[in-house]
Structure 1
C-alpha cells in the first residue's frame, strides 16, 4: 500500500531570514511558487524572505505571507517526489496552507487571503500598541502546568484568555498587560515551572482581536471555500472539517478563539491508527522551523511516530 502523509504547517514565529533558499535553488517547482506569489501580490518574495532582517520579517504583514509561501513552495518540491498529503492541519496561520493542501482554497485565493490577513493584523496590532503605549496587550507562555489548570486561571482573570493549547507542558495565554501579569503570578503560585511573556505584536486568538476578525470577515465574503478532499482539522473546534462552509466560518473565528492544537493532534493520531498505523503513515512539517514536530513529540503517540521538519533541500532529497 502507498505511504500516507500527514502535513503539519507552522504558524507565525517560524519565519527566519534566508528560509528555504536552498530548496528554491534546487527545485524549479518551489521557485515557481515564489515567483507566482510575487506576481499575485506585487511583492518581491525572494527579497522579503532572503534579504530582510529578523525584525522586518517578524511583522505580521511580512511573516504571514512569507511563511505561507515557504510552506507552499516546499509542498511543490515534495509533490515532484510523489509526496502529497492525506491529512493536513496547521497551527494558527498554518491553517491556511492546510486549507490549500486540502483543496479548500485555490492557490490564488490562499495567497490573497493570507496577504490581507497579515495586513489587517499588523494594522490592528499597531493600533492596539499606540492606544496602550508601554502597556500593550500580548501573550504569555505558561510552562509546566496542566492545560486545564491554565484555562481555570485565565477564566478567573478579567481580560485573560487561554489562547494556544500547545501541549500537556505548555499553554499560552492572551490578554491585556495587567491581566497577563496577574495570570503569570497566579500560574507561578500554582506550580508552573515558568511564565514567559512572548515577543508578539498582539493578544492573538482572543476576543481582544475582534476588530481584526470583523475586517477579515469582509475579505472572505466573496472567497470560495470548497469541501476538503483529504482529512483536514480545525484550530477552532479541534476536530475534523467536513465542509467548506465550516472552514470559512472558522477562518474568521480563528482570530478570536483559542488554538485547540492538542485536540487536533489526538484526532489525527486516531485516524492514523485506524488507517494503517505508523507503518503506513509519516508525519511531516513542511515549512520553516520545527516547533510542531517538537509539540508532536510531546504527545503520547509522538514517541513511537516522530514528526519530521521538512525545510531544507537535503531533507527533501533524502525522502
Structure 2
C-alpha cells in the first residue's frame, strides 16, 4: 500500500506569481484562494499574482500567501485521492500541517496564520526601529554540525540556534553584534560559509518573546483538536498527540528552534519500521527547500521527497 507524508515549506518560499498555473488548471485550488480572501478580507489573487518580492516578503503577507499555496495544493491532491498519513511543517509550515492533521479547521488556520503574520511583522518593525541600522537577524552557518554551532553560541551573548536544518547547515538568530561574533568564530572553527540572511527579525529565538506573548493572547479564542494523523512538532522534534500541548507549542514555536533534523529522523524511523507499506514524501505548495534538505539528510537515497509546486508536477499524480 502507498502512504504519503506531507512536508510543508516555511516563510521564505514565497515568489511572485506563486501557484497561478495551478489555480488556472484546477478549480479546487482557485476556490481555496477565493475562500481565504473571504475569511481575511485580503485580495489573495492580487497578493499572490500581482505583488512584487518586497511586498510578499513581509511576514504579514508571506505567511498568508505560503499557507494559501500549501492548502491549495493539498486540496488538489485530495481530489486525486492522495491524502497524507503523516505531516510536518518547517516553521510557518507547521500551520498547514495542523490543518492537514485535523488540529485546526480551514477557517481557523487561516485566521491564526493571519494573526501570527501580523504580530510577527509588528514585532520585527519595532525591533528594526529600536535598533536602526543595527537590527537583530539571522545567520546561516554551513559546513559545521548543529552540535558544533550550538557549542559556539553558548559562549556568545544573545546568539541562539534557530533552525537545525541539516547535518551541515544551522541558522542562528541573534543581535547584530552577536551574529558578527558568531560568523568570525564559525569560520575559525572551519565553517565553509557564515552568511547573514535577509530576514525581518531574529526568528525562533528569545528575542521574539514579545511576539510570543501577543500570539498566546490571540490563540485564546481558537480551539485545537487532537490530531487525526501522525504529526510532528518543530519545538520537540517528536510526534505531537495532545491538543493542549500542540497549542502551547504554537506559542513556544516563536522563541524556540526548529528541530528539523530531529523530525526528519523520527519520520525516517517511522517509515523504516513500517514494513508493509511504500512511502512517498511530498512537499506541497511553493519551492523545494525541504526536498533539498531531505536529499541531504542521508535518508533520501531510500525514500524520495517530491516538490509539488506547479500544474506540471501535480499532473504526475
TM-score range, shorter chain: over 0.9
Q: Which residue of 2 aligns with 1:133?
A: 132
Residue aligned with 1:24, SS: helix
1:117-196 equivalent positions in 2, closer than 5 A: 117-196=116-195
Provide Cα deviations, 1:36-56, integer angstroms capped at 9, x if missing partner: 000000001010000000011
Q: 297-306 vs 307-316, which deviates more?
A: 297-306
* Residue aligned with 2:138, SS: strand
Deviations 1:90-128 (A, max 9, x none): 000000000000000000100000001000000100000
Pairwise CA distance, 1:159: 0.3
1:208 offset after TM fit, Å? 0.1
1:155 Cα offset (Å): 1.2
| Alignment-derived partner of residue 100 in structure 2 | 101
Work out which of the residue numbers 290, 298, 308 in structure 1 matches 2:288: 290
Tell me how large the CA RMSD over aligned residues is.
0.8
**Partner residue, 2:299:** 301
Instruction: Find the residue that maps to 2:164 and give its secondary structure.
Output: strand
Aligned equivalents of 2:173 and 2:132: distance in 1? 17
Aligned residue in 2 for 1:204:
203
Structure 1 unmatched runs, 5+: none
Aligned to 2:217: 218
**For 1:208 and 1:240, how far apart are their aligned partners in 2?**
26
> Superposed, which structure 2 residues align to 1:210-249 within 5 Å?
210-249=209-248
Instruction: Provide the C-alpha distance between the structure 1 equivalents of 2:175 and 2:5, rounded to a whole number of angstroms.
Output: 36
Cα deviation digits, residues 182-239 of structure 1 (max 9, x gap): 0010000000000000000000000000000000001111211100001100000000
Segments of 4+ moved more than 2 angstroms: none
Q: Which residue of 1 aligns with 2:316?
A: 318
Deviation at 1:273, TM superposition (A): 1.2
Equivalent position of 1:55 in the other structure:
54
Cα deviation code 1:33-74 (max 9, x no counterpart): 110000000001010000000011000000000000000000
Q: Secondary structure at the match of 1:283?
A: strand
Structure 1 range deviating more: 70-79 or 267-276: 267-276
Mark the runs of 5 or more structure 2 residues left unpaired by the alignment.
Answer: none
Task: Describe the SS at the equivalent of 2:315.
Answer: helix
Deviation at 1:169, TM superposition (A): 1.1
State the partner residue of 1:71. 70
Counterpart secondary structure, 2:223 = coil
Q: Counterparts of 2:6 and 2:137 in 1: how far apart (Å)?
A: 29
> What is the DSSP-based 3-state SS (H/G/I as helix, E as strand, rest coil) of the residue aligned with 1:318?
coil
Deviation of 1:276 (Å): 3.2
- Structure 1 residue 28: Cα displacement: 1.1
The one-character-per-residue Cα deviations of 1:262-296 (angstroms, maximum 9, x if unpaired) are: 0000001111111237x611000001000000000
What number of residue pairs does the alignment pair up? 317
Distance 1:180 1:25 in 2: 44
> Secondary structure at the residue paired with 1:288?
coil
Q: Distance in 2 between matches of 1:157 and 1:276?
A: 46
Q: What secondary structure does 1:163 align onto?
A: strand
**Distance in 2 of aligned mates of 1:6 and 1:115:** 25
Distance in 1 (alpha carbons) for counterparts of 2:204 and 2:148? 19
**What is the SS of the residue equivalent to 2:248?**
helix
TM-score by length of 2: 0.99
- Give TM-score, length-normalised by structure 1: 0.98
What is the rounded CA distance, in whole Å, between the counterparts of 2:301 and 2:174 in structure 1?
33
Secondary structure of 1:4 counterpart: strand
- Tell me the distance in 2 between the aligned counterparts of 1:275 and 1:121: 39
